[in-house]
Structure 1
Amino acid sequence: MKAPHNRKVVIVGYEVASALGSTLGETWSRACAGESGLRRVTRCRTDSRCNVVGEIPDWNPSTLPFVTRKEETLWDAAYVFLTMAVCQRALTHAGLEIDAQTGPRTGCLIGSALNGTDAYRIATTNYQQFGPTKVSPYLLPNVCANLPAGKAGMLLGFTGPIFSPQGACASGNHAIGLGARMIRDGDCDFMLAGGVETCVIPEIIQGFSNMLATIKIKPADRAYDDPRQASRPFSVDRKGFVLAEGAAVLVLAAEETAAAYGLTPLAEVAGIGWNSDAHHFTRPNGHTVTAAIRAAIDDAELQPDDIDAINAHGTSTPTGDSLEATCLRTVFGDRLAAIPISANKSQVGHSLGASAAIEAVLAIEAMQHGIVLPTVNHRLDPSLADLDVVPNQSRDHVHEHVLSNSFGFGGTNCCIVFRGR
């Protein structure tokens, strides 16, 4: 194999669809305003008390110019069209044109935890109600994890490597990390990297409820009358995460290639730290989580004192938030109290394989604007009083380096340090 090129990797554009809005602009403006996009489920019916979710508002794929009536019938896994739309808008944001030169040098890595679960549900219903011949011949393509990236390539014209990193709730960071490594080594010049999840279906809602992972909204809970308060990372009354759909795609580029095409770097992928727990299928391992954080900082050739802000995994579970806080204390020591911490899941919920990519975009955009985003719904937990959790409203904070954490079921960890440009 050829020697790696050791190129710097920059982010030149991105796009988001989240519970705060179906576009980056809508998501960003509402995030800055300290709003929450959580609401009671409308996508499906459920008897679960875990009935508060994050749904992309005003999302109707049938209005997309590339979605014909036939396409809409054949591709019934919602993550396919969502990925295509977000990839298209991310390229527009970057100002990157896919042509005969850039197409073969552009890849696409879109992670997802649950893939086309909704398409499988439709096929199962059709099988049970109407018989085996009514199972769509497109079922298998709909549930193939690489198909959203493949369909995006068919729409947009890139022919570089496409696949789906499967890192559960860390999938988005894995996609960014792998894409950066592939550009660094010379496999690609550009990469569309991120995550997508369209998981708001009854079985998934009930499954998370039964494993006691998501918050059950009881009459005495403050979210009963105001669902926007259901997700409250690092808060004293946190009771579980809020399931959400969403997508985010970042356009990565080799620094010199971006310059050659006149693209503006917004940030740099400075360091990546990834490992696994070998511990438990849902409960994280503090030793390996700490090691992943340290590895990301070391890969960026930085010291812990160089980190100016933290975008926490912050799921709003009692155990997960406490353990992440412990790991941060181990890495940053007494200085942790001076590092502002944002937990975006308080506003957009937990979109599983898309969550890390959404949070990466929000962290980079915050650096661009010289602010840190809030952790809304926060009520002080005395055991976490040493954390500077940014409460309720965004805060002015000029910073150069942000650490973005992401951890997933199965004990998979991926942390990234982004450097502002």
Structure 2
Amino acid sequence: MKAPMNRRVFVLGYGAATPLGATFDLTFENAVAGKAGFRRITRCEVKTLSNVVGEIPDWDPVASGMFEKKEAHNWNAAFVLLTVAVCREALAHAGLVMEPDIGRRTACLIGSALNGMDAFRIASEKYANAGPLRVSPYLLPNLCGNMPASKAGIDLGFTGPLFSPQGACASGNHAIGMGARMIRDGDVDVVLAGGVDTPLVPEIIQGFANMGATIKVTPEDRAYDDPGQASRPFSCDRKGMVLSEGCGVLVLAAEEVVKAHGLKPRAEVAGVGWTSDAFHFTSPNVETIVRAMHQAIEDAQIAPQDIQYINAHGTSTFKGDLSEADCLRQVFGHHLGQIPVSSNKSQIGHTLGAAAAIEAALSIEGMQMGMVLPTINHCPTPDFDDLDVVPDTFRAHPHSFLLSNAYGFGGTNCCIVFKGV
């Protein structure tokens, strides 16, 4: 094998669809405004108190004019066409035209935790109610984890490697990390890297509720009359995450591409750290998470005190937030109180495999603007007195290095350091 080229890797642009908006610009605008994208579910009927979710507003592949009705009917796993739309937005945001020479050297890595479960549900209902011949011939492609990236390739015309990093809720960061390494080593010049999940079907919602992962909104809860308050990471009354749908894609490129095409980078991928827990399928292992953060910081060739903002995994679960805070204390020590730490999940909920990519994009945009986004719905508690969680409103905060953390079921951890440019 030839030696790696050790090229620098830059973020050129990004796209997103979240409960705060069907585009990145809408998402960021509403995040800065301190809004939350939660409501009682309209996608389907559920029989659980975990009925507050994050739905992408105004997203309809046909009504948007992006796709024909027949195509939307055939590709009924929502994560497929959603990814195509977000990849289009990301490339436009980057200012990169997918010409043939670029296309041959472009990869697409789109991670997902659950893949096309909604398509499987539709097929199961048709099998039971209309007979086996009514099962769509598109069912199996709709279930493939690589299909969102594949459809994006067909739509946009790139022919480099494509696959789906399956890192559960850390999938988006795994895609960014792997894509950056592929560019660094010279395998490709451009990577569309991110994640997507559309988990709002009754069985998935009920499954999360039964395992105690999502908030059950009872009449005495403050989110009962205001669903926007359901996700409250690092707060005294946190009761579980809010399940959401979403997609986030970053355009990564080698320094040579940036210069050759006169493009403006938004950040540099400075360091990647990844580990696994070998501990429990849902409970975190502090030791290995700490090691992932240290790896990312060391890979960036900086010290922990050089990190000036931390985008926390921050799920709003009781044990998860406690464990993450303990990890941060071990990595940053007495310096932790000087670093803003916020969780975008307070505003967009947990988008599973999409979360890390969306959060990376939001963090980079904030870094460019000299600000950090808030942790809304915050209620102080002694458990986190030593953390500056940027409560309730965004804050002006010029910074050059940020750490974005992501952890997933099965004990998979991926942390990335981004550097301002």
Within 1, Cα distance between the matches of 2:367 and 2:69? 41
CA RMSD between the two structures:
0.7
Partner of 1:85: 85
Partner of 2:45: 45
Within 2, Cα distance between the matches of 1:107 and 1:274? 21
Partner of 2:302: 302
Secondary structure of 1:101's counterpart equals helix
Partner of 2:239: 239
CA deviations over 1:187-230 (Å, ceiling 9, x no partner): 11000000011111100000000000000001111001100000
Partner of 1:114: 114
Number of corresponding residues: 421
Alpha-carbon distance, 1:129 to partner: 0.6
Partner of 2:28: 28
- 1:276 maps to 2:276: yes
Partner of 2:317: 317
Unaligned runs of 5+ in 1: none
Amino acid at match of 1:249: V
Partner of 2:335: 335
Partner of 1:248: 248
Alpha-carbon distance, 1:72 to partner: 1.5
Alpha-carbon distance, 1:99 to partner: 1.3
Amino acid at match of 1:360: A
CA deviations over 1:120-140 (Å, ceiling 9, x no partner): 000000011111111111100
Alpha-carbon distance, 1:324 to partner: 0.4
Alignment of 1:340-351 (within 5 A): 340-351=340-351
Alpha-carbon distance, 1:64 to partner: 4.1
Within 2, Cα distance between the matches of 1:310 and 1:199? 27
Partner of 1:224: 224
CA deviations over 1:374-402 (Å, ceiling 9, x no partner): 00000111111000010000000000000
Residues 197 and 351, structure 2, Cα contact 8 Å, conserved in 1: yes
Alpha-carbon distance, 1:66 to partner: 4.3
Alpha-carbon distance, 1:165 to partner: 0.2
Within 1, Cα distance between the matches of 2:73 and 2:370? 45
Partner of 2:14: 14
Alignment of 1:159-238 (within 5 A): 159-238=159-238
Amino acid at match of 1:416: I
Alignment of 1:339-378 (within 5 A): 339-378=339-378
Alpha-carbon distance, 1:231 to partner: 0.2
Secondary structure of 1:63's counterpart equals coil
Amino acid at match of 1:364: I
CA deviations over 1:65-93 (Å, ceiling 9, x no partner): 44122212211000111000000111011
Scaled by the length of structure 1, the TM-score of the pair is 0.99
Alpha-carbon distance, 1:328 to partner: 0.3
CA deviations over 1:29-70 (Å, ceiling 9, x no partner): 110111111111111110110000000001111134441222
Within 2, Cα distance between the matches of 1:256 and 1:137? 43
Secondary structure of 1:204's counterpart equals helix
Scaled by the length of structure 2, the TM-score of the pair is 0.99
Partner of 2:144: 144
Within 1, Cα distance between the matches of 2:313 and 2:229? 18
Alpha-carbon distance, 1:359 to partner: 0.3
Amino acid at match of 1:90: A
Unaligned runs of 5+ in 2: none
Alignment of 1:69-80 (within 5 A): 69-80=69-80
Partner of 1:157: 157
Within 2, Cα distance between the matches of 1:66 and 1:262? 29
Residues 371 and 398, structure 2, Cα contact 8 Å, conserved in 1: yes
Alpha-carbon distance, 1:162 to partner: 0.4
